């Protein structure tokens, strides 16, 4: 099952290239499908659905052929939807299709975890709630550890906090305590507990011990390549020490989750990361952008400033610009982390300004606001990066509070990056603010005095909230 949810990773074995070049090639190959759900089209329905490019066409096909589609066809259809043009879970036909799936779930559905995973990636909460009430709630104790971990991850990812669900999952893991949890599933469960802030001591201690045991077993195996593999390590690699799956991402995600749940347990996190980098060095396994981001956040959460660990993370961070999956969320997290750790090393700073120079337009307004403040506090004034950010501010300022726009304006004025367009933006903002307070606010108060009943209550509510003024697109558009 993990092969269907996560990419398969194999070490490149080309003797004609050096280990370092081999690592870079491995790095660039392995992240290609980082955000795409892969499904092998092995049925007639799946082969047809795989060729669709529009979301509406795929949903219509599924509804027209629902009587002949099997379980694998349904999972395939959900796997293909996310990247299609016109994707919209509010679409009436999609709602009809998801209702059909939930209405026809079997009590002993052996692929319930795949359905949970697909609907979680699609971000469709109604289906997840329906599946819980209809099937999951009544069969939770019958699921294996892998299914429980994916269910926990799916509901946490969509911020569905069902206390009973997580209480029962925690109880099941404690009662079983069989050590039969794969590293991928363990990291998913830890991530879900961190996401919902579940800090039950005996559960966290059990999961922490499992994570450390698996990581230590793999570390011992790669450090002694001539000895036979131990029972745990043999689940993750062959005799040539080639990994079956992407264990680096699993350990990075698990480390960040533990740092979130146990921010004061520096010794455990430090020991885990030390063994992790021992594995990375011995196998030349590169890290993905997501993994590097998790490591920076782990250090920031635990306030670990170990020089050796920082040096290793900085070296791996040098290749971030080569990873197309390095996005604005990751950049914002890394910038926040290095500012918290007071790290000014050019190896990571260059990756940030390079991304800002080339891909600033991909940032959202809150990320833009945070990154500009961090760059200013750290004294990083790369001309092209700040110019790109200035252009973005003029486009995204409409989504910020007036007080936030003033902060950005003062930052640009203070560091000498202010230009004519930015000055015009500030003037427009102030005019919009004055128009509201001079014209619109008295009008609202007058209507409030004249209106009666329900209309009066609505206008009164508007008046009460008027002090929290935002610059709306309509207000700026008329200036």
Cα 6 to Cα 30, 144, 194, 257, 274, distances in angstroms: 11, 19, 21, 19, 25
Show contacts of 19-23: CB within 8 Å, 24+ apart: 19/284, 22/284, 23/284, 23/285, 23/286
Does the residue 415 lie in any domain?
no
Between CA 111 and CA 129 the distance in angstroms is 17
Does the residue 120 lie in any domain?
no
Between CA 124 and CA 119 the distance in angstroms is 6
* Nearest partner of 200 among 162, 157, 168, judged by Cα: 168
Domain range for 452: 434-477
Does the residue 311 lie in any domain?
no
Quick one: pLDDT at residue 434? 60
**What's the whole-number mean pLDDT along residues 106-127?**
91
Q: Give 140's contacts (C-beta < 8 A, 6+ positions apart).
A: 148, 165, 168, 169, 172
Residue 85, beta-bridge partner list? 54
pLDDT one-digit tens code per residue, 357-375: 999 999 999 999 999 999 9
Q: Which of 66-70, 260-264, 318-322 is predicted with the least confidence, judged by mean pLDDT?
A: 318-322
* Average pLDDT of every residue of the chain: 83
Does the residue 470 lie in any domain?
yes
Quick one: pLDDT at residue 285? 87
More confident residue, 189 or 431: 189
Cα 319 to Cα 135, 186, 282, 332, 360, distances in angstroms: 45, 28, 19, 17, 18
Between CA 395 and CA 331 the distance in angstroms is 20
Instruction: Give one DSSP letter per residue of 325-364, joined into a string.
Output: T--HHHHHHHHHHHHHHT---HHHHHHHHHHHHHHGGG--
pLDDT one-digit tens code per residue, 16-35: 333 433 343 333 333 333 34
**What's the whole-number mean pLDDT along residues 439-454?**
57
Look up residue 184 and give its two tokens.
């991928």
Does the residue 50 lie in any domain?
no
Quick one: pLDDT at residue 108? 73
Does the residue 158 lie in any domain?
no
* Structural domains in the chain (count): 1
Does the residue 469 lie in any domain?
yes
Between CA 153 and CA 121 the distance in angstroms is 10
What predicted TM-score, i.e. pTM, was given to this entire model? 0.80
Does the residue 468 lie in any domain?
yes
Is residue 411 within 8 A of residue 368, CB to CB? The reply is no
pLDDT(471) > 50: no
**What's the whole-number mean pLDDT along residues 192-201?**
96
pLDDT(11) > 50: no
């Amino acid at each position: 099952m993990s092969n269907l949810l996560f990419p398969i990773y194999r070490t490149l074995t080309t003797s004609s290239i050096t280990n370092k070049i081999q690592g870079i090639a491995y790095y660039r190959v392995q992240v290609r499908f980082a955000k795409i759900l892969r499904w092998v089209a092995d049925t007639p329905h799946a082969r047809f659905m795989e060729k669709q490019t529009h979301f509406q066409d795929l949903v219509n096909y599924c509804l027209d052929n629902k009587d002949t589609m099997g379980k694998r066809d349904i999972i395939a259809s959900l796997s293909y939807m996310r990247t299609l043009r016109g994707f919209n879970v509010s679409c009436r036909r999609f709602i009809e299709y998801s209702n059909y799936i939930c209405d026809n779930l079997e009590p002993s559905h052996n692929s319930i975890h795949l359905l949970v995973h697909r609907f979680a990636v699609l971000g469709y909460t109604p289906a997840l709630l329906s599946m819980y009430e209809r099937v999951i709630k009544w069969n939770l104790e019958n699921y294996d550890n892998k299914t429980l971990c994916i269910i926990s991850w799916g509901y946490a990812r969509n911020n569905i906090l069902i206390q009973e669900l997580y209480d029962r999952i925690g109880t099941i893991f404690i009662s079983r305590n069989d050590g039969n949890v794969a590293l991928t599933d363990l990291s998913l469960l830890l991530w879900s507990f961190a996401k919902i802030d579940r800090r039950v001591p005996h559960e966290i201690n059990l999961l922490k011990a499992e994570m450390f045991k698996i990581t230590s077993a793999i570390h011992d195996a790669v450090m002694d390549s001539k000895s036979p593999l131990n029972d745990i390590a043999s689940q993750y690699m062959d005799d040539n020490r080639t990994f079956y799956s992407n264990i680096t991402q699993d350990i990075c995600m698990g480390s960040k989750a533990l740092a979130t749940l146990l921010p004061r347990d520096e010794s455990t996190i430090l020991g885990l990361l030390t063994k992790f980098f021992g594995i990375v060095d011995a196998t030349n396994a590169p890290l993905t952008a997501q993994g590097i981001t998790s490591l920076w956040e782990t250090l920031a959460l635990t306030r670990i400033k170990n020089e050796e660990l920082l040096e290793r993370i900085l070296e791996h961070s040098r290749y971030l610009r080569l990873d197309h999956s390095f996005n604005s969320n990751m950049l914002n997290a890394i910038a926040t982390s290095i500012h918290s750790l007071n790290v000014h090393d050019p190896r990571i700073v260059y990756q940030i300004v390079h991304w800002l120079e080339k891909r600033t337009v991909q940032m959202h307004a809150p990320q833009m606001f945070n990154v500009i403040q961090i760059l200013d506090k750290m004294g990083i004034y790369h001309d092209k990066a700040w110019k790109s950010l200035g252009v973005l501010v003029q486009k995204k300022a409409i989504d910020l509070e007036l007080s936030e726009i003033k902060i950005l304006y003062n930052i640009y004025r203070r560091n000498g990056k202010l230009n004519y367009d930015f000055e015009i933006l500030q003037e427009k903002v102030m005019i919009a603010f004055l128009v509201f307070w001079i014209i619109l606010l008295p009008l609202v108060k007058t209507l409030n005095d004249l209106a009666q009943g329900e209309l009066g209550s609505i206008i009164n509510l508007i008046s009460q909230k008027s002090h929290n003024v935002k610059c709306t697109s309509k207000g700026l558009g008329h200036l």
